[in-house]
Structure 1
Amino acid sequence: MVKKLIVSLGALSLLFPAMAFADDPSAGTLNMGLNSIWVLVAAILVILMQGGFILLEAGSTRMKNAGHIAGKTVFTLGLCTLVYWAVGYAIAFGSDNAEHSISKIIGWGSYLFAPAVAAADGEALPSTIFFVFQLAFAAVSLSIAWGGFAERAKLSAYLVFTILFTAVVYPVISHWIWSPTGWLFAEGAQDYAGSTVVHLTGALAAFAATVLLKPRIGRFNKDGSANEILGHNQVFGALSVLLLWVGWFGFNAGSALGVGDGFFGYVAFNTQLGAAGGAVAALLISWLVNGKADITTTLNGGLAGLVAITATCAFVDPWAAVVIGLIAGVLVFFSAKFFEKIKVDDPIYALSVHGAAGIWGTLANGIFATDELAKKLNVGQGGIIDTGNWHQMWVQLESVLVCGGYVLVVSFIILGAMKLVMGLRVTEEQEIIGLDLSEHGAFGYPEQMKKAQSSL
């Protein structure tokens, strides 16, 4: 078989000499090509995480809202794409004002982004691929925000908030930390793949929504005690975590933006360790405290470990990645209990998984980052353990406070104005019958719902 293949290739090279003697591409072109393949694959993995969010939100909520959740996720991904193309990418990475002080706050230029057909000489990536990769991150942050809307928001609220979040909330934070001209980037803020930029931003937008929408009907009693509203499919929840876990390799390792010396493999290695630590710690702490190993907590622990390691995966040693994941798994358990105690209705635990763990992951660089890796990436410096210096911790804390403050204030303003002008929440009757029927006129599980209706 091998001999036949060699003979066939030899014959083809004689018939088509251009195949055998084509101009050799330069090393730079080959490197750009390899970078492009990897980053585009990574972008596809991140976009496929939307499937994980569909399963996560649908599985964590009731059957009567499942079709709505699936449909609005696809719709908002499409709308987010158009807004990011028209406005968001320009604010995040536009470079027309690179010489001006305003560039520290927002980017400018590249509105209605019209990229070159191919990469120019010396570019590490075609701008088209960089755009798709960054768009995927914006869409993930938006999907995290939907946790605060779940089971009670109007479809029109999703439409308007998608436009405004993608235009004026997410890209500003992205510019501050990830753009070469952003002011937090200049200060050395370390957030490799977005514990703050993506996860905390989405979680705080979700928090604003939960406060203004108020809890779902029946979630809390008048005496303040909580009623558990169980999701309809725990298997969906487990599948969603696995799908998101796999997508996270595109999320974190893809942020290397190339293959280079294989450093993206080290990032992937730390990502797996952090996720593993989160899942194991969450199961053990729930087992210890509750006397039973809670499956939902275990799933949330895996996600919390992934969120926490997102900022740190390129800056820390492997042992630190495990510790970061373990702490995230414990943190998500107690954080969920805290939000329930203060009567915040968070159906998919966005505030704990993406908010609390996002803060922890960002601050963890101030403790565990090594000076060697910080110098390799040319971002900030080592943390307290490696250098004995608190400087990086203060930078990390500053980025959490400033970015968190901006997202909270702007999200409350946007959602507050929307509540006054158009309303955010469906009626009590619509919420009771479910958003599948009230917002779309069809059931996500038509056979099951028909059986339920016929038995009444």
Structure 2
Amino acid sequence: MDAGLFTANNVWMMVCTALVFFMHTGFAFLEIGLTREKNTINILFKNVFIICVGLLLYYIGGFNLMYPGEFNGFLGFGGFGLNIGEDGLTPAYADGGYTYWTDFLFQGMFAATAATIVSGAVAERIKLGAFMIFVIFYVGLVYPIVGSWQWGGGFLSTLGGEDAGFYDFAGSTLVHSVGGWAALIAIILLGPRLGKFDENGKALAIPGHNIPMAAAGVLILWLGWFGFNGGSVLSADPGLTSLVLVTTSLAAAAGGVSAFFTSTVLYKNFDLTMFLNGILGGLVGITAGADLMSPFEAIMIGLIAGVIIVLGVALIDRVKLDDPVGAVTVHLICGIWGTLAVGLFGSKAGISQFLYQLTGVAAAGIFCCLTAFIIIFTLKKTMGIRVSKEEEIEGLDIHEHGMDAYPDFRMNQH
């Protein structure tokens, strides 16, 4: 391979790595904006912890757990630390798409995302210590094991033969649903925030304190998704990369429009938070097949994802679960939709492919639910996972961190 092309490929992958890293700012802004100001420091702390510990865990063993080399298709381990090998910095590695170091860093950014999804769902009432322990086990073990089943050459990648199998281009299931399943288990075991439901079980709105910040977070996430999906091409291939960015953007736009239109028809108001989550739903929905879809098919996937957002949020309230940022609807339900859409739209569409996709969704769901339940239930029975009533009412920032995100604002209140 030409040295210039190898360099260009690697530079593009490093740019995408930076964009995926920037997504953590978007997640933090979105979570802060949709929750109350008294828990801002707590949310920021969790997000910073996830990035730092996620990268260290991925270095220690996560990378080699996810990409173990030759293994039985279910569980393998390539050893601790990083081993660059003889070809790690040459075009012989990854067909000249990137170097070993870039590979580790790009994939490490994905690993941290799975836990960030859970952070938003459990916001405002989980003990920080319990959450940190959960992150260590879930990012360190569960995420890379599920990833190895497909991206590491495991059993999902060879269903029906080497040219067939489950398909998840950039992680509708392997990233978003992995986080979404854990979020679902967590909010079931954790219970709703105080004041979320009245004595009759009716859901009450708990408004976020900074909707402009939430909007900024979603736009940052959209920008970061150009690296999330664009980098998943695993090279700077001009045709495929540009197609992926087009399908990603169109699905996001369609998801936003569909969600705001659906919520307007049902609730007779222009709900910005539904609009924002619709954009995210479209992005999650297109992630599994962004490289397979035509622009029109991407729009169709986004339109359906937008409807799913509105109905999914209502469903979560109806079953008396509390998800402050809509993480379960966005990342789990739309992640499932996007994964199944590969069997319905695009160049792989067909009954066999749909069944492969369904198998992948089921396998990830069963494993993630089981492991998340074991981790969180054990924490609940030992150290506890929920803060006290007093701490929840007064805010986690003061009780768990001894500081305030907006001290001047509080002083002016008095």
Instruction: Flag whether TM exceeds 0.5 (same fold).
Output: yes
Q: Deviations over 1:339-366 (max 9, x none)?
A: 1000010001001111111010000010
Secondary structure in structure 1 of the residue aligned to 2:76: coil
Matched, 1:173 2:146: yes
Match of 1:395 in 2: 356
Q: Which residue of 2 aligns with 1:275?
A: 252
Asked if the contact 1:94–1:109 (Cα under 8 Å) also holds between the matched residues in 2, the reply is yes
1:105-130 CA-partner distances (Å, limit 9, x unpaired): 12311412243595135222211101
**Secondary structure class of the residue paired with 1:353:** helix
For 1:64 and 1:351, locate their aligned partners in 2 and report how far apart those are by CA, in whole Å: 23
Q: What is the CA distance between 1:280 and its match in structure 2? A: 0.6
The separation in 1 between residues aligned to 2:91 and 2:366, in whole angstroms, is 41
Q: Deviations over 1:244-296 (max 9, x none)?
A: 00000000011011013431111111101100100110111111111111111
Which of these residues, 71, 75, 80, is aligned with residue 54 of structure 2?
80
* C-alpha distance in structure 1 between counterparts of 2:206 and 2:338, whole Å: 29
Following superposition of structure 1 onto structure 2, how do residues 320-399 of structure 1 map, counting pairs within 5 Å? 320-370=297-347, 382-384=348-350, 390-399=351-360
Return the offset for 1:33. Answer: 1.1
Q: Does the alignment pair 1:144 with 2:117?
A: yes
Which is further off, 65-74 or 341-350?
65-74
Indicate conservation of the 8 Å contact 1:316/1:368, yes or no.
yes
Gaps of 5+ in 1: 1-26, 371-381, 385-389
Spell out, residue by residue over 1:213-270, the C-alpha distance to the aligned partner (whole angstroms, 9 max, x if none).
Answer: 1111111122111111110011011101100000000000110110134311111111
Aligned to 2:3: 29
Tell me the TM-score normalized by structure 1.
0.87
> How many Å separate the matches in 2 of 1:310 and 1:108?
27
Q: Does 1:297 align with 2:266?
A: no
The answer (yes or no) to whether the contact 1:89–1:110 under 8 Å persists in 2 is no
Distance 1:107 1:264 in 2: 31
What TM-score, normalized to structure 2? 0.95
Written as runs of structure 1 = structure 2, the 5 A alignment for 1:172-321 is 172-179=145-152, 181-187=153-159, 188-321=165-298
Does the 8 A contact of 1:86 with 1:111 survive in 2? yes
Contact 1:169 1:410 in 2 (8 A): yes
- Mapped to 2, the partners of 1:157 and 1:450 lie a distance apart of 31
- 1:367 is paired with a residue whose SS is coil
Q: Where does residue 76 of structure 2 map in the other structure?
A: 107
User: Where does residue 101 of structure 2 map in the other structure?
Assistant: 128
Displacement, 1:405? Answer: 1.1
Query: Offset at 1:173?
Result: 1.2
* Aligned-pair CA distance for 1:422: 1.0
- Pick from 158, 164, 175 the counterpart of residue 137 of structure 2: 164
Letter in 1 for 2:82: F
Q: What CA deviation, in whole Å up to 9, does each residue of 1:115-158 have, x standing for no partner?
A: 35951352222111011110111111110011222001111012
- Could you say what secondary structure the match of 1:229 adopts? coil
Q: What do residues 339-394 of structure 1 show as CA deviations (whole Å, max 9, x unaligned)?
A: 10000100010011111110100000100021xxxxxxxxxxx213xxxxx10000
Measured at CA, do residues 194 and 85 of structure 1 come closer, stay the same or move farther in structure 2, by a change above 3 Å? Answer: same
Distance 2:325 2:210 in 1: 13
Higher Cα radius of gyration: 1
Q: Tell me, what secondary structure is at the counterpart of 1:397? A: helix
For 2:105 and 2:6, locate their aligned partners in 1 and report how far apart those are by CA, in whole Å: 16
Deviations, residues 154-181 of structure 1 (Å, cap 9, x unaligned): 11012201110112211111111211x2
State the Cα distance separating 1:77 from its structure 2 match.
1.0
Preserved CA contact (<8 Å) 2:43 2:119: no
Contact 2:256/2:277 (<8 A) preserved: yes
The worse-fitting range, judged by mean Cα deviation, of 222-231 and 242-251 is 222-231
- State the secondary structure of the residue aligned to 2:2: helix
Residue 185 of structure 2 contacts residue 369 of structure 2 at CA under 8 Å; is this kept in 1?
yes
Give distance in 1, aligned partners of 2:60 and 2:20: 21
Could you tell me which amino acid in structure 2 is paired with residue 46 of structure 1?
V
Q: Does the 8 A contact of 1:304 with 1:328 survive in 2?
A: yes
| Maintained 8 Å contact 1:151/1:431 | yes
More contact order relative to length (CA 8 Å, sep ≥ 6): 2
Which residue does 2:44 correspond to in 1?
A: 70
The CA distance in 2 between the partners of 1:162 and 1:338, in whole Å, is 27
Using the aligned pairs only, state the percent identity.
39
Does 2:365 correspond to 1:404? Answer: yes
**Alpha-carbon distance between aligned partners in 1 of 2:131 and 2:398, rounded to the nearest angstrom:** 17
The partner residue of 2:65 within 78, 91, 94 is: 91
The reply to whether residue 450 of structure 1 matches residue 407 of structure 2 is: no
**What's the RMSD between the two structures over aligned residues?**
1.3
Structure 2 unaligned segments of length 5 or more: list them. Answer: 160-164
Distance in 1 between residues matched to 2:14 and 2:68, nearest whole Å: 21
**Amino acid corresponding to residue 318 of structure 1 in structure 2:** P
Partner-residue secondary structure (3-state), 1:442: coil
* 8 Å contact from structure 1 (residues 76, 158) kept in 2: no
| Separation of aligned partners in 2, 1:243 and 1:236 | 10
CA distance in structure 2 between the aligned counterparts of 1:436 and 1:331, rounded to whole angstroms:
34
CA distance in 1, matches of 2:388, 2:5: 56
Of residues 79-88 and 259-268 in structure 1, the stretch that sits farther from structure 2 once superposed is: 259-268
Q: Which of 332-341 and 112-121 deviates more?
A: 112-121
Q: Displaced runs of 4+ in structure 1, greater than 6 A?
A: none
